[in-house]
């Protein structure tokens, strides 16, 4: 039986999602916990790999369960074997045609940026930080230029393995909640470091180093060296993939972030 899981995690203690030599990744922790419940190794596939230090509000994974267990075992049971900072939110049977990555037709990210002179204390590891004042209107103007199909090479990491830099950005916005700027992005898919590179360039615009139209120039020039440096992973949250309704999977419960910001 194929199962889908909704997983949330605080990424700071981990070396990213994807399993690697030496362990220390979210996938390593999850598969070890699943193996405890299944009594044998379990391999998972995820909707979107996240880098070291990046968090997830709803990572979706699927696996083919080698044994039958109640759904509660794949949630509460697995959670008893997971380290702090990782939790399964839900488990749901899906058809064998479902694939966490390939069935998704979009992905969503949020970046939280604390904008005040003092570095974060309570929010350490959970937000990015910039100490100088930022111009919200300028960054909103720049964000409005991002939706559409573009070549995002200027915001692509050198080690990116995507076949094409052309992606469809369906939404890009920034709003302010007190000292916090909240950036939201949705696209068909994202390149490696794409959101962090976008935020870095938007901060350049917000602090007045570049005008909003600089985003248009970067998209046209397609040169990573011309854009701003990659921003910290601390404030980046994978909000989850977007699936067709017929799969019946829960929407990410990320409203708690909004509640914390008001």
Q: How far apart are alpha carbons 18 and 137 in whole angstroms?
A: 37
What distance in Å separates the CA atoms of residue 215 and residue 96, rounded to the nearest whole number?
42
> What is the predicted pLDDT for the residue at 103?
97
Residue 132 C-beta-side C-alpha neighbours within 13 Å: 8
In tens, the pLDDT along 27-64 reads 999 999 999 999 999 999 999 999 999 999 999 999 99
Both tokens assigned to 35: 């193996």
CA distance 65 to 35: 10
Give the alpha-carbon dihedral of 100, 105, 110, 111, to 10 degrees.
90
pLDDT digits (tens, 9 = 90+) for 147-186: 999 999 999 998 898 899 999 999 999 999 999 999 999 9
Given a cut of 60, is residue 262 above it in pLDDT? no
Q: Which one, of 184, 174, 186, lies nearest residue 135 by Cα?
A: 174
Q: What is the pLDDT of residue 256?
A: 58
- pTM to 2 decimals? 0.95
Q: What is the mean pLDDT of residues 2-15?
A: 97
For the annotated catalytic residues, the residue numbers are 51
| Chain segment 72-102, per-residue pLDDT in tens | 999 999 999 999 999 999 999 999 999 999 9
**107 in helix, strand or coil?**
strand
Percent of the chain with pLDDT over 70: 96
In whole angstroms, what is the distance from residue 41 CA to residue 92 CA? 20
């Amino acid at each position: 039986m194929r199962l889908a899981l909704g997983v949330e995690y605080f990424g700071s203690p981990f070396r990213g999602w994807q399993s690697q030599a030496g362990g220390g990744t979210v996938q390593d922790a999850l598969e070890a916990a699943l193996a405890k419940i299944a009594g044998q190794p379990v391999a998972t596939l995820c909707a979107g790999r996240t880098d070291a230090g990046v968090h997830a509000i709803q990572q979706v994974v699927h696996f083919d369960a080698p044994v039958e267990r109640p759904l509660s075992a794949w949630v509460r049971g697995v959670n008893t074997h997971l380290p702090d900072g990782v939790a399964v939110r839900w488990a749901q049977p899906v058809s064998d045609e479902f694939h966490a990555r390939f069935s998704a037709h979009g992905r969503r990210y949020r970046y939280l940026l604390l904008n005040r002179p003092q570095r974060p204390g309570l929010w350490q590891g959970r937000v990015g930080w910039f100490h100088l004042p930022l111009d919200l209107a300028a960054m909103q103007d720049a964000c409005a230029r991002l939706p559409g199909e573009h070549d995002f090479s200027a915001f692509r990491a050198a080690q990116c393995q995507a076949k094409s830099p052309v992606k469809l950005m369906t939404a890009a916005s920034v709003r302010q909640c007190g000292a916090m700027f909240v950036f939201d992005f949705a696209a068909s898919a994202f390149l490696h470091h794409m959101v962090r590179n976008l935020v870095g360039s938007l901060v350049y615009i917000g602090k007045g180093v570049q005008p909003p139209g600089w985003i248009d120039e970067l998209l046209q020039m397609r040169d990573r060296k011309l854009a701003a440096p990659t921003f910290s992973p601390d404030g980046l949250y994978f909000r989850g993939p977007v699936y067709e309704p017929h799969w019946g999977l829960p929407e990410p419960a990320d409203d708690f972030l909004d509640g914390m910001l008001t």
